[in-house]
Amino acid sequence: MSADRYSRQSFLGANAEDRIARCTIGVLGLGGGGSHIVQQLAHLGFQRYVLYDDDIVEESNLNRLIGATSTDVPAETPKLHLAKMMIYSLMSNASIRGFACKWQEKPEPLRECQIVLGCVDSYKGREEIEITCRRYLMHYIDIGMDVHGKERPVIGGQVIMSSPGGLCMRCMGFLSDEKLAAEAALYGNAGHRPQVVWPNGVLASTAVGLAVDLVTNWTRSSRTHAYLSYDGNQGFISESHTLRNLQVKSCPHFSESAVGDPILLEL
């Protein structure tokens, strides 16, 4: 690799290029958020990917799906294909293991990752990823956005980082049984959520920034968790008030010994 290619990111540290190249990173969902993420990861020099998306490009994706063109709609191009092409165009020697299925259908490759970036729509989906990340020791960075209200729409979103040994999404007040139950009650009736390109870009960029900091520790912050809230109307991201007010110090939901393949115990 040309030394000049990463000269503008040398502030990330002397070994940053090597650290980034060695990290295996998973991206779950390659739509509005995930397409931004893979593009940025490839620019940064990430070389090892485990990607999942079972969807194809549709007309309604063209307002935000990075890399998609009008020809991808009639061609029914898989979103996974777009992501791979995006990465290979920037990083021809990348190692990509891509799966056009739900990650739960083929979870083993994901377990080799050090960092997983999740771009899924549901609380249930996030909970399943976080449980897997704790069980197989992976940092999990989640992004999500939503638009509330019709008369005066409000764009909101979040970027959450949940790491083994640190606070989880329940500790941070993001996941709860009530939210999961409410979502389950809407099953099959959720409809299409509003999605636009720029909030996805803001959230994806923030998530990639967290991932780079995890790999290089260039900020010296040594974060063990993060919950950043996005106010798309005002255009700012700040630490979640929920997290700040909860004052939780340690996670009671995940034991550090509850790792590896689950085992059935005879009682």
Partner 1 sequence: MKVQIKLSGSLYIGIIRDLTRPHPFAAERVGFVFGRLGSLVDNNRLILLTRYHSIPDNQYVEDHTVCARIGSEALTWAMQAVYHGRSGREGIFHIHLHRFRGEPGMSAVDRREIPKLIPGFRSVGQEAAHGIIILSSDHGTAWVWPQGSTEPVHVDCISIIGTPVSVFEHGRAK
Positions touching partner 1 (CB under 8 A) are 15, 18-19, 22-24, 108-109, 111-112, 114-115, 135-139, 163-165, 213-217, 221-224, 256-257, 259-261, 263, 265
Of the pair 22, 193, the CB lying nearest partner 1 is at 22
Beta-strand ranges (E) seen in 9-138 are: 24-28, 48-52, 95-99, 115-118
User: Which DSSP state fits 105?
Assistant: G
CB-CB contact of 159 with 143 (8 Å): yes
CB of 49 to partner 1, least distance (A): 15
In the complex, least distance from residue 22 CB atom to partner 1, rounded to whole angstroms: 4
Min CB(112)–partner 1 separation in Å: 6
Which CB sits closer to partner 1, 90 or 212?
Answer: 212
Closest contact distance (angstroms) between CB of 168 and partner 1 is: 14
Dist CA 234 CA 202 (whole Å): 13
Helix (H, G, I), strand (E, B) or coil at 25: strand
Q: Closer to partner 1 at the Cβ: 161 or 237? A: 161
Of residues 111 and 170, the one with the C-beta less far from partner 1: 111
Q: SS3 for 63?
A: coil
Provide, rounded to whole angstroms, the least separation between the CB of residue 58 and partner 1. 31
Q: Rg of the Cα trace of the chain?
A: 18
Q: Quick one: CA dihedral 79, 83, 84, 89, positive or negative? A: positive
Q: Are 157 and 232 in contact (CB under 8 A)?
A: yes
With respect to partner 1, which residue has the nearer C-beta, 71 or 257?
257
